[in-house]
């Protein structure tokens, strides 16, 4: 037991260290490199009562504080939320292929974003961009539709299978709608397409502020649900016998995970792979208990996306690669190697 | 790439608004229902994006050879008055004696036995050129994105996903298009409808060549020559008016608010080069040769002295919104007031309105 506990503690510390390292790297690397010590000094200077020499000045300071920092923190938030939501989805459905987009969150967000890009002339409502807003509403509507469809179709409560199928149906339906709108508005194609591929390049503090409240609620609920997911992992009947209502756990976890996913998608577009693969990697390293998988996913997913974003903006600098391309292009071989090392067990 | 207007800005004109045709043949059949493809949206998006961006491999060259009938140089057309306003037709007189004429386009050599009277244009730029050379009266239908000059017979026809049946419904005797997708060229060939494929121009020379080609193909060769020389004169004058102060000034051209830009190898980028401006997107050419995505950080770092916004219509951008972006307050273009919004359409098309673009750039450069 001590061995397990030590391994979990190690996993948590390692993930936190990785995230901090990734954040520092992300803050320093870019079109022009900023010296890590000066970056830290600049950040420390923002604390009350601290005044250090050697902080950045002028354009460098503006770039760090107004552009790079929000971008790096948003990447960490989005990556962390997608990974923890992915782990939660996999737990709820007891299915290794589940990811945060399974129930139509991505397709709904895509449809919402595409419709406003295609049909609405305004781009903002007050300080809030209309595309994130539409994506957020679309994502939640997609999941709600899948959930509603499943509960109508499945009065007997046969577990997650019906919901999963309903999610597939809703996602296909919404994706078809999205494609239809997109095809009839070829002028806005690039705008729509660049949103779908995911972007952090235009992230500012407002995007972070927009996503943070929902993300925090989602993360707190999911972290608290770790034990319930562990119980659910043994099966619905067994969970029931242990005094846990599978339906209730499923509902609470799915609502929280979908809320987080919707917030992430709204500010960053559709970034694939993170929510699917990070949980599997984490499970291999710290074991299968959701009490440890969920927090490590939060930290590790954040680190992964921050690093992916560093790759996205340095490989073809000063150009940018779409972040979704990087997560899959870098993540897929990494995951394949991990599968190979672990004899193919998921 | 044609980031264009929203749908309601280019309404499908009812038949009553369409110009009356001398040919008086059957009313065009409206395009039929186009089946929706639900294939992977990423794949379709990628394919369309490539098509929309009109890669440099497009081979935009086209040439004209003289008509097979000799001695056609007599000027039966009146000279061009104001090419910037092609709404007022340059000349409606068709030089019928110049036919048959043989022109060269990307799809090869095309011979037209007589002057076309039922032209269908599937490209907003080609539509603008047709009207500028005075062939507007011969145009019966234009694609859904064509919206200039005012009163063009806009239809639901798509230039990106052309439907040969829907096009044939207008009984065209000439189709002009920029993209050969959905089997457009082979489909029209099967129907014996002549088509001129004139892809997105990469240089001013390409654009002038297309104007010459379309002029010859429609019986307005002399007027097309006038359009070309007037455009050349206006651009040269615009550049000359700026003087040498702007030389070396750096420019950032914005296609949308996610920092997509254009390099010097594009049509619009070539014009900046003629002004002697340094394009900040050029160093990102390895990301995408023509239209790379930059980052806010890079734009701020590059400190452009001129920012040209081609995303006023699509994305609601203006000098005010740029000034409010994080870290942009100190960018030289912002502090010196050299942030200019150019109509999305003018900045993305390669017709004669490129002279308007050059004059707008000159005006901003002189401002500083």
CATH 3.40.50.1980 assigned to B7-26+57-67+80-232: yes
Q: What is the pTM of this model?
A: 0.76
Q: Where are the domains positioned within chain B?
A: 7-26+57-67+80-232, 243-367
Contact (Cβ atoms closer than 8 angstroms) between residue A191 and residue A130 = no
Three-state DSSP class for residue B79: coil
d(CA B334, CA B328): 7
**Dihedral sign from CA coordinates of B224, B226, B228, B231:** negative
Which residue among A30, A121, A321 places its CB closest to the CB of B297?
Answer: A30
**B368: confidence class by pLDDT, cuts 50, 70, 90:** low
Contact B327 A66 (CB under 8 A): yes
Chain A residues 18-37 with a CB less than 8 Å from chain B = 30-32
d(CA B115, CA B23): 12
Contact (Cβ atoms closer than 8 angstroms) between residue B134 and residue B223 = yes
Write the DSSP symbol of residue A56.
Answer: -
Which residue among B39, B52, B288 places its CB closest to the CB of A189?
Answer: B52
d(CA B303, CA A59): 9
Alpha carbon distances (Å) from B322 to A151, A190, B218, B224, B296: 48, 20, 44, 39, 11
Contact (Cβ atoms closer than 8 angstroms) between residue B235 and residue B111 = no
Residue A93 backbone phi and psi in degrees, to 5: -95, -5
Q: With an 8 Å Cβ cutoff, is B158 touching chain A?
A: yes
Answer yes or no: is pLDDT of B23 > 60.
no
CA distance A269 to chain B (A): 12
Contact (Cβ atoms closer than 8 angstroms) between residue B156 and residue B206 = no
Residue, of B226 and A185, whose pLDDT is higher: B226
Contact A183 B161 (CB under 8 A): yes
**A262: confidence class by pLDDT, cuts 50, 70, 90:** very high
Q: What is the pLDDT of residue A332?
A: 83
Query: Tokens 């097979």 belong to which residue?
Result: B68
d(CA B123, CA B104): 18
Answer yes or no: is pLDDT of B172 > 60.
yes
CA distance B337 to chain A (A): 19
Q: What is the pLDDT of residue B46?
A: 41
Q: With an 8 Å Cβ cutoff, is B323 touching chain A?
A: no
Which residue among B53, B303, B314 places its CB closest to the CB of A188?
Answer: B314
Contact (Cβ atoms closer than 8 angstroms) between residue A88 and residue A279 = no
Mean pLDDT over B42-71 rounds to: 41
Q: What is the pLDDT of residue A123?
A: 67
Mean pLDDT over B343-351 rounds to: 92
- Of B112, B174, B96, residue with least CA distance to B142: B174
CATH number of B243-367: 3.40.50.1980
Judging contacts by C-beta atoms under 8 Å, the chain A residues touching residue B4 are: 187
Q: What is the pLDDT of residue B236?
A: 95
d(CA B245, CA B259): 27
What tokens appear for A226 in the block? 């770790």
Q: Among all residues of chain B, which has the CA nearest to that of A316?
A: B287
Judging contacts by C-beta atoms under 8 Å, the chain B residues touching residue A183 are: 36-37, 44, 48, 161
Mean pLDDT over A92-100 rounds to: 87
Q: With an 8 Å Cβ cutoff, is A185 touching chain B?
A: yes
Q: What angle do CA A98, A16, A288 make, to 5 degrees?
A: 40
Q: CB atoms < 10 A from the CB of B278, how many? A: 18
Q: With an 8 Å Cβ cutoff, is B284 touching chain A?
A: yes
d(CA A175, CA A179): 6
**A7: confidence class by pLDDT, cuts 50, 70, 90:** confident
Judging contacts by C-beta atoms under 8 Å, the chain B residues touching residue A74 are: none
- Of A114, A140, A105, residue with least CA distance to A272: A105
Mean pLDDT over A197-226 rounds to: 89
Q: With an 8 Å Cβ cutoff, is A79 touching chain B?
A: no
Q: What is the pLDDT of residue B117?
A: 95
In terms of average pLDDT, the best of A38-47, A111-120, B297-306 is: B297-306
Contact B257 A321 (CB under 8 A): no
Answer yes or no: is pLDDT of B331 > 80.
yes
Judging contacts by C-beta atoms under 8 Å, the chain A residues touching residue B292 are: 316, 319-320
- Disruptive mutation site among A107, A186, A310 for chain B (greatest number of B CBs within 10 Å): A186
Q: b or e along A33-53 (b: 16 or more beta carbons within 10 Å of the residue's beta carbon)?
A: ebeeebbbbbbeeeeeeeeee
Answer yes or no: is pLDDT of A240 > 70.
yes
Q: What is the pLDDT of residue A1?
A: 58
**B60: confidence class by pLDDT, cuts 50, 70, 90:** very low
pLDDT digits (tens, 9 = 90+) for A65-83: 888 999 999 999 999 999 9
CA dihedral B133, B137, B139, B142 (to 10 degrees): 80
Which residue among B2, B6, B326 places its CB closest to the CB of A121?
Answer: B6
d(CA B286, CA B294): 12
What tokens appear for A210 in the block? 């927009």
**Percent of chain B whose predicted confidence (pLDDT) is above 90:** 60
Which residues are within 8 A (CB) of A2 and not within 5 positions of it... i.e. 6 or more apart?
Answer: none
Q: Among all residues of chain A, which has the CA nearest to that of B156?
A: A184
Contact A319 B287 (CB under 8 A): yes
Which residue among A67, A189, A204 places its CB closest to the CB of B49?
Answer: A189
Which residue among A122, A191, A313 places its CB closest to the CB of B295?
Answer: A313
- Of B149, B153, B141, residue with least CA distance to B11: B153
ipTM, interface predicted TM-score of the complex:
0.77
d(CA A149, CA A164): 11
Q: What is the pLDDT of residue B148?
A: 92
d(CA A333, CA A320): 21
Domains and CATH numbers, chain A: 2-341 (1.10.3470.10)
Contact A190 B37 (CB under 8 A): no
Q: Where are the beta strands (DSSP E) in chain B?
A: 63-64, 101-105, 108-112, 119-121, 139-142, 174-177, 195-197, 250-254, 278-279, 306-309, 339-341
pLDDT digits (tens, 9 = 90+) for B94-150: 888 788 999 999 999 999 999 999 999 999 999 999 999 999 999 999 999 999 999
Contact A199 B2 (CB under 8 A): no
Same fold for the pair B7-26+57-67+80-232 and B243-367 = yes
The Cα diameter of chain B in Å comes to 65
d(CA B302, CA B334): 13
pLDDT digits (tens, 9 = 90+) for A214-228: 999 999 999 999 999
CA distance B26 to chain A (A): 28
Query: Tokens 């976890």 belong to which residue?
Result: A253
Contact (Cβ atoms closer than 8 angstroms) between residue B138 and residue B94 = yes
CA distance B4 to chain A (A): 5
Burial classification of residue A151, based on how many CB atoms lie within 10 Å of its CB (0-12 exposed, 13-18 middle, 19 or more buried): middle
Mean pLDDT over A140-158 rounds to: 81
What tokens appear for A272 in the block? 């694939």
Residue, of A78 and A338, whose pLDDT is higher: A78
Q: Backbone dihedral region of A247: left (phi > 0), alpha (psi from -120 to 50 degrees) or beta?
A: alpha
CA distance A164 to chain B (A): 20
Q: With an 8 Å Cβ cutoff, is A122 touching chain B?
A: yes
CA distance A190 to chain B (A): 6
Q: Among all residues of chain B, which has the CA nearest to that of A174?
A: B38
Answer yes or no: is pLDDT of B54 > 50.
no
CA distance A345 to chain B (A): 30
pLDDT digits (tens, 9 = 90+) for A318-329: 888 888 889 988
**A305: confidence class by pLDDT, cuts 50, 70, 90:** very high
Q: What is the pLDDT of residue B77?
A: 38
Q: Among all residues of chain A, which has the CA nearest to that of B289?
A: A319
- Disruptive mutation site among B2, B33, B293 for chain A (greatest number of A CBs within 10 Å): B293
Q: What is the pLDDT of residue B6?
A: 32
Q: What is the pLDDT of residue A320?
A: 86
Q: What is the pLDDT of residue A107?
A: 92
Q: With an 8 Å Cβ cutoff, is B286 touching chain A?
A: yes
Q: With an 8 Å Cβ cutoff, is B161 touching chain A?
A: yes
- Of A50, A76, A74, A72, residue with least CA distance to A63: A72
**B218: confidence class by pLDDT, cuts 50, 70, 90:** very high
Contact A317 B298 (CB under 8 A): yes
CA distance A270 to chain B (A): 11
Chain B residues 326-345 with a CB less than 8 Å from chain A = 326-327, 330
Contact A176 B36 (CB under 8 A): yes
- Estimate to the nearest angstrom the gap between the alpha carbon of A327 and the chain centroid: 12
CA distance B274 to chain A (A): 24
**B55: confidence class by pLDDT, cuts 50, 70, 90:** very low
Answer yes or no: is pLDDT of B285 > 60.
yes
Q: Where are the beta strands (DSSP E) in A91-190?
A: 124-125, 128-129
d(CA A1, CA A7): 10
Q: With an 8 Å Cβ cutoff, is B145 touching chain A?
A: yes
Q: What is the pLDDT of residue A325?
A: 87
Q: What is the pLDDT of residue B22?
A: 36
d(CA B190, CA A305): 52
Judging contacts by C-beta atoms under 8 Å, the chain A residues touching residue B48 are: 183, 186, 189
Answer yes or no: is pLDDT of B203 > 90.
yes
**B91: confidence class by pLDDT, cuts 50, 70, 90:** low
What does B47-96 look like in DSSP terms, one character per residue?
Answer: HHHHHHHT-GGG----EE---SSS---S--SPPPS-TT-TTS-S-----G
Alpha carbon distances (Å) from A44 to A56, A60, A72: 11, 16, 17
Contact (Cβ atoms closer than 8 angstroms) between residue A323 and residue A272 = no
Judging contacts by C-beta atoms under 8 Å, the chain B residues touching residue A70 are: 326
Answer yes or no: is pLDDT of B27 > 80.
no
pLDDT digits (tens, 9 = 90+) for A152-196: 877 655 567 888 889 999 999 999 999 999 888 777 777 788 788
Contact (Cβ atoms closer than 8 angstroms) between residue B74 and residue B62 = no
Q: Among all residues of chain B, which has the CA nearest to that of A176?
A: B38
Residue, of A162 and B36, whose pLDDT is higher: A162
Mean pLDDT over A101-118 rounds to: 90
Answer yes or no: is pLDDT of B171 > 90.
yes
Mean pLDDT over B325-340 rounds to: 93
């Amino acid at each position: 037991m001590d061995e397990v506990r030590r391994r979990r503690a190690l996993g948590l510390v390692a993930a936190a260290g990785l995230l901090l390292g990734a954040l520092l790297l992300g803050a320093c690397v870019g079109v022009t490199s900023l010296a890590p010590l000066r970056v830290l000094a600049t950040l420390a200077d923002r604390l009350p009562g601290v005044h250090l020499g050697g902080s950045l000045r002028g354009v460098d300071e503006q770039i760090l504080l107004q552009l790079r920092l929000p971008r790096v923190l948003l990447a960490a938030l989005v990556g962390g939320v997608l990974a923890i939501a992915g782990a939660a989805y996999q737990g709820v459905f007891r299915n290794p292929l589940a990811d945060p987009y399974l129930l139509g969150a991505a397709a709904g967000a895509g449809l919402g974003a595409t419709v406003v890009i295609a049909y609405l002339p305004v781009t903002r409502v007050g300080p809030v961009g209309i595309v994130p807003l539409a994506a957020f509403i679309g994502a939640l509507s997609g999941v709600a539709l899948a959930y509603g469809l499943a509960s109508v179709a499945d009065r007997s409560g046969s577990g997650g299978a019906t919901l999963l199928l309903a999610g597939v149906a809703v996602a296909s339906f919404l994706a078809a709608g999205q494609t239809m709108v997109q095809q009839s508005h070829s002028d806005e194609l690039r705008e729509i397409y660049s949103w779908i591929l995911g972007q952090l390049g235009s992230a500012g503090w407002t995007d972070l502020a927009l996503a943070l409240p929902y993300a925090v609620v989602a993360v707190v609920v999911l972290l608290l649900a770790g034990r319930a997911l562990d119980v659910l992992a043994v099966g619905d009947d067994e969970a029931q016998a242990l005094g846990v209502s599978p339906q209730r756990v499923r509902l609470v976890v799915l609502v929280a995970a979908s809320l987080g996913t919707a917030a992430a998608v709204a500010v960053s577009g559709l970034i694939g792979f993170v929510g699917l693969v990070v949980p599997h990697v984490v499970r291999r390293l710290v074991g299968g208990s959701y009490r440890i998988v969920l927090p490590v996913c939060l930290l590790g997913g954040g680190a992964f996306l921050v690093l992916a974003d560093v790759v996205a903006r340095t490989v073809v600098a000063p150009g940018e690669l779409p972040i979704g391309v990087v997560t899959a292009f870098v993540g897929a071989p990494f995951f394949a190697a991990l599968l190979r090392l672990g004899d193919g067990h998921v | 790439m044609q980031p264009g207007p929203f749908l309601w800005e280019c309404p499908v004109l009812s038949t009553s608004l369409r110009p009356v045709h001398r040919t008086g043949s059957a009313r065009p059949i409206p395009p039929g229902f186009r089946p929706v493809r639900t294939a992977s949206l990423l794949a379709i998006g990628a394919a369309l994006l490539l098509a929309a961006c009109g890669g440099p491999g497009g081979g935009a060259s086209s040439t004209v050879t003289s008509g097979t009938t000799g001695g056609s140089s007599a000027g039966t057309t009146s000279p061009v008055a104001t090419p910037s306003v092609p709404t007022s037709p340059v000349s409606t007189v068709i030089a019928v004696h110049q036919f048959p004429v043989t022109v060269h386009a990307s799809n090869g050599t095309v011979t037209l036995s007589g002057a076309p009277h039922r032209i269908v244009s599937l490209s907003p730029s080609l539509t603008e050129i047709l009207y500028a050379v005075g062939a507007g009266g011969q145009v019966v239908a234009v694609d859904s994105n064509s919206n200039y000059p005012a009163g063009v017979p806009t239809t639901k026809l798509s230039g990106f996903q052309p439907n040969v049946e829907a096009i044939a419904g207008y009984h065209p005797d000439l189709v002009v298009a920029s993209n050969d997708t959905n089997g457009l060229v082979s489909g029209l060939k099967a129907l014996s409808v002549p088509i001129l494929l004139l892809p997105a121009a990469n240089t001013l020379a390409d654009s002038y060549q297309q104007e010459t080609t379309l002029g010859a193909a429609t019986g307005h060769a002399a007027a097309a020559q006038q359009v070309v020389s007037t455009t050349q004169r206006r651009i040269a004058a615009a550049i000359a008016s700026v003087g040498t102060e702007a030389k070396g000034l750096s420019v950032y051209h914005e296609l949308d608010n996610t920092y997509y830009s254009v390099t010097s190898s594009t049509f619009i980028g070539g014009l900046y080069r003629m002004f002697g401006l340094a394009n900040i997107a050029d160093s990102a050419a390895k990301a995408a040769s023509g239209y790379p995505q930059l980052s806010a950080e890079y734009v701020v770092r590059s400190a452009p002295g001129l920012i040209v916004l081609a995303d006023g219509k699509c994305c609601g951008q203006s000098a005010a919104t740029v000034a409010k972006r994080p870290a942009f307050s100190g960018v030289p273009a912002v502090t010196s007031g050299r942030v200019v919004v150019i109509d999305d359409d003018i900045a993305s098309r390669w017709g004669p309105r490129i002279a308007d673009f050059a004059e707008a750039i000159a005006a901003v450069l002189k401002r500083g």
